[in-house]
Structure 1
Amino acid sequence: MKPFFTKHYRHFQRYNEIIRVISTHGFGYLLELSGIHNVMRWPFRHKKIPDSPRSIAERLRMMLAELGPTFIKLGQILSTRPDLLPAIYISQLERLQDQVLPVDFSEIKQTLEAELGQPWEQIFKKFNSMPLASASIGQVHEAILLSGERVAVKVQRAGILKRIETDLEIMYDVAGFLEMRTDWGKLYKIQDFITEFDRTIRDELDYIIEAKNAERFYQNFRDDPGILIPKVHWKWTSKRVLVLDYVTGWKITAIADLEQNGIQKSDIASKLAKVFFKQILIDGFFHADPHPGNIMVANGGIIILMDFGMVGRLDGWLKERLVRIMLSILRRDVNSLLMVLNEFSEKPFPDGQHLLKRELYYLMDRYENRPLKDIELSTVLRELMELSSRYRIRPPQELAIIARCLVLLDNIITLLDPDTSLLELAKPFAPRLVLEKFTPENMKRVLLEYLLDLTTVMTTLPGKTNQLLQQATDGELKLKIEQHHFDLLISKLMIVGNRLSSSIIIAGTIIGSSLIALKASSSLFGRFPIADIGFLTALVMGMWLLISMIRSGRI
């Protein structure tokens, strides 16, 4: 078997730093509980701090923030997973801020010239050395191109890729260990989660991908004068430099500024909700980080979206399930909700269906007779995901991301207009999505897909059938039988075998001691109490066997 932590000698310094930070914040005992310290055999000190859950959640957030950009992003992703963490931890991780001191302008200048292949003075007429914003991966500066266009320039920090790759290697090592050695690691497929996280953070490191995301949003809203997406300047954009139009406005939560400029808060709240429901339910491509720092309002109530590093994607199948979930919530239809959850399950009929249905009834009953404005769609989605994980149903990751988006939107919309209901605003999109399935273009596309699938099946079926029959004729046909809970069966058989062996040894010891006792007077060992020792050994072993059977509760 390939040993875990094969790279920890190469990353010794970073491992040491991570262990020090974990221990400093009082989580060193987790290394012992998981068994990691036994594999790595590195000395570390830890403090067990018996605190309230809120204190533990706060320390977790502080620990991730201290560990740097990779772990900050990990915390932000974990904040979208109510199926993995309790609500109190989710609320703390949502507060993780990726803000650090800016790097010196000389470093920014080197990156600019290395990426764009010429001195920055030949591209920009003016470049403000003081950043508009600074984060752990990059920082944003205001500049003016030689053409006179005012732009925002996002520049990646030097060396950040190497550090993140080191952290990812460590995460893969730990995930592999936990999945191999712990039941919850297997259940939640930690390696799959880290693989998805790896893809997400690498996408954020590639500014070409972010530029393409911005371009796609620009195209999706090109016909909507109420939405402004900054235009990408492709000529000066690379993997580590992103140049966009400079946009100005007020932060969406700056209530005083909005009121002073005659902007109706209720209109902005309604428009913002519709913008995101269009992204999620119609476009299937949505901004996955709509916190107040990424949304501005310009003159005339125009909404500006910024920072397109984190996006979510939904295919037609998942959009339809999301609509069915929302309609089920609106109608309090438990059976329909249960059907959707079952479609997310790996097994056709997951265990505990009647219990899950009962809990869904209880959940829906809590919202009975409530006005829609008092029902938080994000809260209901999170409760559904928590219920699903309890019954070994794993909803798609995209639903968790949507739930987090709705939490952020709920907070903004409640601040702007407490009477605005996300569920109410989502209702018109459901029939639109249903009608889209029956448009001539969509029907034509679906029919073509069915015909292609049918053609593929018809052309490959004879060959596959012949291959199957040939394998059966040659005696090479193999059937794979998957036995669930086989490890538990083996462990019980081993216990039975051990007890049986112990019983035989005890019986042999008693019989042997009896024979020795009969022959003791004529034996060379007559003066040595071998028989007594044998009887005593048999008694101790018998008592041990009896106690173990009593403790197991199966005597």
Structure 2
Amino acid sequence: GKPVEELFATFDADPIAAASIAQVHRATLADGRHVAVKILRPDIEVAFSRDLDLARWAAVKLENTRPDLRRLKPVEAIDTIIRSVEIEMDLRFEAAAADELRENFADEPRFAVPDVDWAHTSRRVMTTSWIDATPVNELDLSNMRAEDARDIVANFAKIFFLQVFRDGFFHADLHPGNMFVDDDGVFHAVDFGIMGRLDKRTRQYLAEMLHGFLTGNYRQVAAVHIRAGYVPADQSVDEFAQAARSIAEPILGLPLGEISLARLLAQLFAVTEKFRMEAQPQLLLLQKTMLVAEGVGRRLCPDVNMWELARPLIEDWMLEHMGPEARIRDAADSMLDVVERLPFLITEMEESLSRTARDGLRVDPASLEALAGGRGRGGGWRFWAAAAAMIVLIAVILD
């Protein structure tokens, strides 16, 4: 709420970057530090709220009038977009996302996120350290050696992989204007308004799916879709594998630099209506991000496919998180969770038994009648034996 002249020693009124939601200005703090100041446009919340309300109304109408399109989950997709936009409208959330991403990569020397100046950050204003680097779309590729370009793409692929698979928290707006490269080949990211999250199980399914495509194991691709619940379990694995092959082979047969896994996943979804495959809103953002990331990699080094560079990372990740040792760790973690919950379970049991001792054992007659309904089929004696055993057990415990 303070005037600009009280907050900053200098403030350039002309924005260095502008978008539909906000614009960015260069400024200097009282201590001489150069900073980037992002400011929301006036009344932007009202305009976006009106547009998003209209989009959601249309999505609801679509689901109600076209039952065959409900598998696409248009309302859920719009709600995902609405949540993202609501976060974008509060720059404190964006600042927190920048902080989280920077912490995730604190030990990664070739990826940097600007520091947030929380003293000069609020709901409508976000201040970060200034970046001295060149936007990816302004790099002079004509004077760059081929091995340097390949190294940058390899680093970019690694950064993207670590965000998606290691952390499950990724920058979802990686267009060239949001990515910078300095003289040391370090990537710098800006604009953290759109971020994506994937839980561990989704990351495991995604890794298996991509690995299946990259290795030509289409049965694995099909099995993963069914196991994940993306495709109903009554569908044929072999037929789905055939559908996956029909899409993948034309794309994977292209020159290396033209292969697009994002386009492959989009086409896979487009032809799988016969398998009643449902949309996965949590993956829509990732698919869009993959498409943009591929464009960045292709611009830097047209003859290199970033997914082939990331393939060893995916395979190592699968071994670490899905191999035999990982299964043992998961089992141990599950047992530890049970042990940690045991005191609470015992407390709940004691409370339940105390209520039974105080109020007596109450059995609903309708439930007894329903449970005893199998006597004519030879199941009655089992029911009464189980009921008697339960009563005896409770009596012993309460004694």
TM range (shorter): 0.7 to 0.9
CA drift at 1:417: 1.5
Task: Name the residue aligned to 1:310.
Answer: 194
Task: Name the residue aligned to 2:298.
Answer: 414
SS at 1:433 equivalent? helix
In structure 1, what is the Cα distance between the partners aligned to 2:164 and 2:287?
11
Task: Name the residue aligned to 2:30.
Answer: 146
In structure 2, what is the Cα distance between the partners aligned to 1:305 and 1:434?
27
In structure 2, what is the Cα distance between the partners aligned to 1:353 and 1:385?
16
Structure 2 residue 114 is the aligned partner of structure 1 residue 230: yes
CA drift at 1:246: 1.0
Taking a change above 3 Å as real, the CA distance of residues 329 and 156 of structure 1, as seen in their structure-2 partners, is same
Taking a change above 3 Å as real, the CA distance of residues 377 and 215 of structure 1, as seen in their structure-2 partners, is same
Task: Name the residue aligned to 1:449.
Answer: 337
Task: Name the residue aligned to 1:382.
Answer: 266
Question: Which one-letter code corresponds to 2:317 in the other structure?
Answer: L
List per-residue Cα deviations over 1:53-91 (Å, max 9, x = no partner).
xxxxxxxxxxxxxxxxxxxxxxxxxxxxxxxxxxxxxxx
In structure 1, what is the Cα distance between the partners aligned to 2:54 and 2:251?
44
In structure 2, what is the Cα distance between the partners aligned to 1:124 and 1:449?
51
Report if the CA contact (8 A) 1:138-1:155 is conserved.
Answer: yes
Report if the CA contact (8 A) 1:344-1:394 is conserved.
Answer: no
Structure 2 residue 224 is the aligned partner of structure 1 residue 340: yes
SS at 2:336 equivalent? helix
CA drift at 1:213: 0.8
SS at 1:300 equivalent? coil
Stretch moving more, 335-344 or 203-212: 335-344
Question: Which one-letter code corresponds to 1:429 in the other structure?
Answer: L
Stretch moving more, 121-130 or 397-406: 397-406
Question: Counterparts in 2 of 1:122-521, with a 5 A limit?
Answer: 122-184=6-68, 186-256=70-140, 259=143, 264-345=148-229, 348-351=232-235, 355-366=239-250, 375-437=259-321, 438=325, 444-449=332-337, 451=339, 470=364, 472-473=366-367
Question: Which one-letter code corresponds to 1:180 in the other structure?
Answer: N
Q: Name the TM-score, length of structure 1 as normaliser.
A: 0.58
In structure 2, the gaps of 5 or more residues are 372-399
C-alpha root-mean-square deviation of aligned residues, in Å?
Answer: 3.4
In structure 2, what is the Cα distance between the partners aligned to 1:451 and 1:261?
58
Report if the CA contact (8 A) 1:210-1:308 is conserved.
Answer: yes
In structure 2, what is the Cα distance between the partners aligned to 1:459 and 1:343?
36
Question: Which one-letter code corresponds to 1:361 in the other structure?
Answer: R
In structure 2, what is the Cα distance between the partners aligned to 1:257 and 1:331?
32
SS at 2:364 equivalent? helix
List per-residue Cα deviations over 1:248-290 (Å, max 9, x = no partner).
2212133427837999222111111111111111111111111
Report if the CA contact (8 A) 1:382-1:400 is conserved.
Answer: no
In structure 1, the gaps of 5 or more residues are 1-113, 478-555
CA drift at 1:436: 3.6
Report if the CA contact (8 A) 2:72-2:279 is conserved.
Answer: no
In structure 2, what is the Cα distance between the partners aligned to 1:380 and 1:329?
9
Task: Name the residue aligned to 1:547.
Answer: none
Question: Counterparts in 2 of 1:70-85, with a 5 A limit?
Answer: none
Question: Which one-letter code corresponds to 1:156 in the other structure?
Answer: L
SS at 2:271 equivalent? helix
Question: Which one-letter code corresponds to 2:364 in the other structure?
Answer: Q
Question: Which one-letter code corresponds to 2:300 in the other structure?
Answer: L
Report if the CA contact (8 A) 1:151-1:243 is conserved.
Answer: yes
In structure 2, what is the Cα distance between the partners aligned to 1:454 and 1:394?
38
Stretch moving more, 232-241 or 169-178: 169-178
Task: Name the residue aligned to 1:83.
Answer: none
Stretch moving more, 280-289 or 338-347: 338-347
CA drift at 1:371: 7.2
SS at 1:321 equivalent? helix
Task: Name the residue aligned to 1:490.
Answer: none
CA drift at 1:410: 1.7
In structure 1, what is the Cα distance between the partners aligned to 2:362 and 2:248?
50
Report if the CA contact (8 A) 1:210-1:309 is conserved.
Answer: yes
SS at 2:92 equivalent? helix
List per-residue Cα deviations over 1:285-304 (Å, max 9, x = no partner).
11111110001111111111
Report if the CA contact (8 A) 2:153-2:306 is conserved.
Answer: no
In structure 2, what is the Cα distance between the partners aligned to 1:181 and 1:123?
54
List per-residue Cα deviations over 1:314-336 (Å, max 9, x = no partner).
11101111110122112211221
CA drift at 1:217: 1.3
Q: Name the TM-score, length of structure 2 as normaliser.
A: 0.79
Question: Counterparts in 2 of 1:36-75, with a 5 A limit?
Answer: none
Question: Which one-letter code corresponds to 1:470 in the other structure?
Answer: D
Report if the CA contact (8 A) 1:144-1:151 is conserved.
Answer: yes
CA drift at 1:367: 6.0
Taking a change above 3 Å as real, the CA distance of residues 177 and 372 of structure 1, as seen in their structure-2 partners, is closer
Stretch moving more, 399-408 or 346-355: 346-355
Taking a change above 3 Å as real, the CA distance of residues 178 and 405 of structure 1, as seen in their structure-2 partners, is closer
CA drift at 1:175: 2.9
Number of residue equivalences: 359
In structure 1, what is the Cα distance between the partners aligned to 2:224 and 2:342?
27
Question: Which one-letter code corresponds to 1:254 in the other structure?
Answer: E
SS at 1:419 equivalent? coil
In structure 2, what is the Cα distance between the partners aligned to 1:346 and 1:406?
20
List per-residue Cα deviations over 1:337-376 (Å, max 9, x = no partner).
1111113436742446554333223335446777765532
The alignment-based identity, stated in percent, is: 27
SS at 1:225 equivalent? coil
